[in-house]
Every structure is written in C-alpha cells, then in structure tokens.
Amino acid sequence: MGKDTEEMFHGKFITFEGTEGVGKTTQIHLLEKYLRTKNINCIVTREPGGTTLGERIREVLLNKKNEYMDVMTELLLMFAARAQHLEEIIYPALKKDTWVLCDRFTDASYAYQGGGRGVAYEKIRLIERAVQGNFKPDLTILLSGDIETGMRRVTKRGKKDRFELEDVEFFERVNHDYLKLAKNNAERFGVVDADQSIDKVALAIQTKCKQRFAELII
C-alpha cells in the first residue's frame, strides 16, 4: 500500500532508532514539543506497538518467558505489528497532514533481527516489500552512543525485557548494522551522538530536522 498511497501523504514520517538506553523516548518527546512550537501537528507512536493489537504483540515479543522464540517468529511478529500500525495509525495520520514521530521502525528489524540475530537481509527485504511496498521514513534519526553506558541506564530502570537481557556483543552487532544502514542511506539518516547532554542531543536533532524540512520548519 505504501507505494500507491505515498503521493497522498502530506505529513512527514520521522523515525528514531538506536540501541537500548540511548535516550530515544526522551528525545522523541522533546522533538514533539519543539515541532508544536512551529505549529506542526504531530503524534508520537512506537514499534512494536502503537495499536491495541500491536501492543499485545509487543507483550509477547518482550516477555522474557519467551526466551526460546524462533528468530523467524520474532521477525514475522515484528512485521505483523508493523502492518497493523501502518494501516491503523501511520498512513491515516500522514494523509491528514499530521507528522508521525515513531520510536523505531523497519530499520530496527534489519539491525536487531538482521545484525543481532543473523537473519539475512534478503529475507527481511522480502517481508518489508510485502508489508509496506516502497514506503520509507522521510527522516530517520539514529542515536548512536556507547553500548555499555546505555546498558547501565537500562539496568537502573529496573526489570529488563527479553531484548534488554541480551549481552553487550549482541548490541554491538546491532549498533554496527545501524551505522551500516545509516552509511548506505545517508540521504535519509541523521546520525546524532547520544553521549552528549540531553539538551545538546535535542538541539542536534532539531538541526537535522530543519535541514531536511527547511521549507516547513521556519
């Protein structure tokens, strides 16, 4: 559907990516606040999740009791939640001139299930095409920071989910693939150093957005 409906989209789709503990949740809400000062209507959502069905799938994916979940089951559940998310939330909002700020999207599948779990990119690409056609974010903010620092932040939050229980090597592979994705899609990605202060990271993200949407953010 994405390819056929793209010309009807008037809002912008901005996604946030990064490994655990890099501050995506904080920064996505700071960007929402900033865009509203520019009279831009926007919504914040997340993956997996964003819809009633998607949140139920999220519970299955993050539940540490499901530690033996097959990697293809994991990947397909991610895209099942994404298909519902696109049809129920993302596409309708974009058609109404609403900007959508999303905590993770398809790049996360390449980084986590691809880089982290070892699923071939070709398999992910086939499912991506079936679910979203050629639809892509208008801008992807990659928060890239020190893995061990991020994991310490996660530990301070309390109980860890199924992904947060992975070891440092797993997240190093994920981060490696995120950086590879950013390099290969430089026209869409904006990489921001997540190890700076919250205010400096927020300013860097605002700058990326103003550069990408110069005619809309004045």
Q: Which of 49, 121, 123 is nearest to 89 (CA)?
A: 49
Q: Which of 100, 49, 51, 101 is nearest to 78 (CA)?
A: 49
> Largest Cα–Cα distance in the chain?
50
Average pLDDT in the chain: 93
Under CATH, domain 2-211 is a member of which superfamily?
P-loop containing nucleotide triphosphate hydrolases (3.40.50.300)
Query: What DSSP string runs through 33-69?
Result: HHHHHTT--EEEEESS-SSHHHHHHHHHHH-GGGTT-
Q: How far apart are CA 70 and CA 63, in angstroms?
A: 14
Q: What is the per-residue pLDDT for 3?
A: 45
Q: What is the per-residue pLDDT for 7?
A: 55
Q: How far apart are CA 204 and CA 96, in angstroms?
A: 28
Q: Which of 144, 143, 166 is nearest to 154 (CA)?
A: 166
Summarize the confidence of residues 151-160 as an average pLDDT: 82
Q: How far apart are CA 88 and CA 19, in angstroms?
A: 26
- 159-192 pLDDT per residue, tens: 888 888 888 899 999 999 999 999 999 999 999 9
Q: What is the per-residue pLDDT for 1?
A: 43
Q: How confident is the model at residue 149 (pLDDT cuts 50, 70, 90)?
A: confident
Least confident of 9-13, 31-35, 86-90: 9-13
Q: Which residues contact 197 (CB under 8 A, 6 or more apart)?
A: none
Least confident of 20-29, 31-40, 107-116, 144-153: 144-153
Q: What is the per-residue pLDDT for 196?
A: 95
Q: How confident is the model at residue 70 (pLDDT cuts 50, 70, 90)?
A: very high
Dihedral pair phi/psi, residue 143, rounded to 5° = -90, 110
What H or E segment, with its residue span, contains residue 110? none
Summarize the confidence of residues 120-125 as an average pLDDT: 98
Count CB-CB contacts under 10 A for residue 179: 16
Q: What is the per-residue pLDDT for 2?
A: 45
- Write the DSSP symbol of residue 15: E
